[in-house]
Amino acid sequence: MADDPCKSDWNPRAEEVLGDQIRAYDTMRAQCPVAWSDYQHWTLFRHGDVMRVLEDHQTFSSAASSHLSVPNGMDPPEHTPYRQVIEPYFSQQAMSEFEPTCRSIARNLVSSLHDGQPFDVVERFSRAFALQIQCAFMGWPDSLHEPLREWVLKNHQATLASDRQAMAEVAHEFDGYIRDLLETRRQAGANAPRDVTTSLMEETVNGRTMTDEELTSLLRNWTVGELGTISSSVSILLSYLAKHPDLKQSLANDTVALPDAIDEILRMDAPLMSNRRVTTRDVDIGGRRIPTGEKITILWASANRDEKVFGDPDAFCPQKNRDHNLLYGAGVHVCPGAPLARMELRVLMEELLSAVDTLEPAPGDQPERAVFPTGGFSYLPMVIAKR
């Protein structure tokens, strides 16, 4: 018999949870590793349970939304041809070609930071980097930076409030940006810029070009993922290195160690908090009976801190933890954009560490953590001294 979903095991929106989400999730992982709530439905806190879901897409479907989601909300075999179209855009060659542009953006942003003057990492640095890098990668004009910045904030507020009407309006606004970009390229014809957006318009799936609805969904997923998680990642990395100056200096002296160090810091403090699945049949998991058609929250922010896999979740052990780190997921839906994200974060940190001698919290000002469904910080005041 299924568990009674009317009785909540916890409240993800409770003040004590939002006050320190990481510790709250650590506690839930130990006390109630498969938990029901009205807000997140079934939440999985343990690494093993999450891996089971990721490896069994037939029982745990990604089609958890009523809206088209390309390819995130699809299962094989429908998912496969879209995935095959996407992967070449994140190849080693594509990353090598984009890296100089990425480095130029990173270097200019680091140069814009003033010596000894407090600044908000989120507004001045991490969000600006995410916006500029996404537009550069997609071939979008700089004039979209400010509209997209405002759109990200509205999207977060609507999601946080679970306001379906506001979420629909925000999605419609983004669709308008994409329609304009597509129409501009169509009118240009052979003179359209040879960028990622134009190339995607020419790709074929199952013998046909993608519809505007499919293109818009794909580009929305890429943009939301890039802008949100990259910005969160940068704020988490700077906060951690400010608290661990010896590690910061070590990485400045040995940038070869940066990729593993970045992944490990983001394992401990998730930039992407969760993803969703829906059950296709009744299933027992973690001692709970979950019926068909129930939504499941995969809580990366907990699974990547599971003591049974990582030991002390706050111990910095990049080599030891590398193979079990779910920062970019696993299984058929492992993040295709992981090579791009890793390259962007590595390059930004290389530029920062080469230019900055000290990185410290701004005196007399307290940071503010972002709250679910966003990771990282909403406000992170810091001060730097350049070399």
The stretch 156-182 carries a mean pLDDT of 84
Q: How many domains does the chain have?
A: 1
pLDDT at 4: 56
pLDDT at 168: 83
Residue 1: pLDDT above 60? Answer: no
The stretch 263-282 carries a mean pLDDT of 97
Instruction: Domain of residue 251: give its range.
Output: 15-386
Domain containing 289 — which CATH number?
1.10.630.10
The Cα 378–Cα 83 span in angstroms is: 32
Strand order through the sheet with 381-386 = 119-120, 381-386, 356-361
- Asked if residue 5 is part of any domain, the answer here is no
- Asked if residue 19 is part of any domain, the answer here is yes
Helices (H) then strands (E): counts for the chain:
16, 14
- Asked if residue 7 is part of any domain, the answer here is no
- Asked if residue 247 is part of any domain, the answer here is yes
- Asked if residue 72 is part of any domain, the answer here is yes
Higher pLDDT, 331 or 160: 331
Residue 160 half-sphere exposure toward CB, CA atoms < 13 A? 13
Tokens, residue 323? 């193979």
What confidence tens digit (pLDDT) does each residue in 18-57 have? Answer: 999 999 999 999 999 999 999 999 999 999 999 999 999 9
Tokens 């130029």: give the residue: 104
The Cα 272–Cα 290 span in angstroms is: 25
The Cα 33–Cα 44 span in angstroms is: 6
What confidence tens digit (pLDDT) does each residue in 67-76 have? Answer: 889 999 999 9
- Asked if residue 10 is part of any domain, the answer here is no
- Asked if residue 228 is part of any domain, the answer here is yes
Residue 3: pLDDT above 70? Answer: no
- Asked if residue 1 is part of any domain, the answer here is no
What confidence tens digit (pLDDT) does each residue in 306-365 have? Answer: 999 999 999 999 999 999 999 999 999 999 999 999 999 999 999 999 999 999 999 988
The stretch 107-131 carries a mean pLDDT of 95
Tokens, residue 317? 């052990």
Binned at pLDDT 50, 70 and 90, residue 5 comes out as low
Binned at pLDDT 50, 70 and 90, residue 373 comes out as confident
What's the mean pLDDT when you consider all of the chain? Answer: 94
What confidence tens digit (pLDDT) does each residue in 194-239 have? Answer: 999 999 999 999 999 999 999 999 998 888 878 889 999 999 999 9
Residue 157: pLDDT above 60? Answer: yes
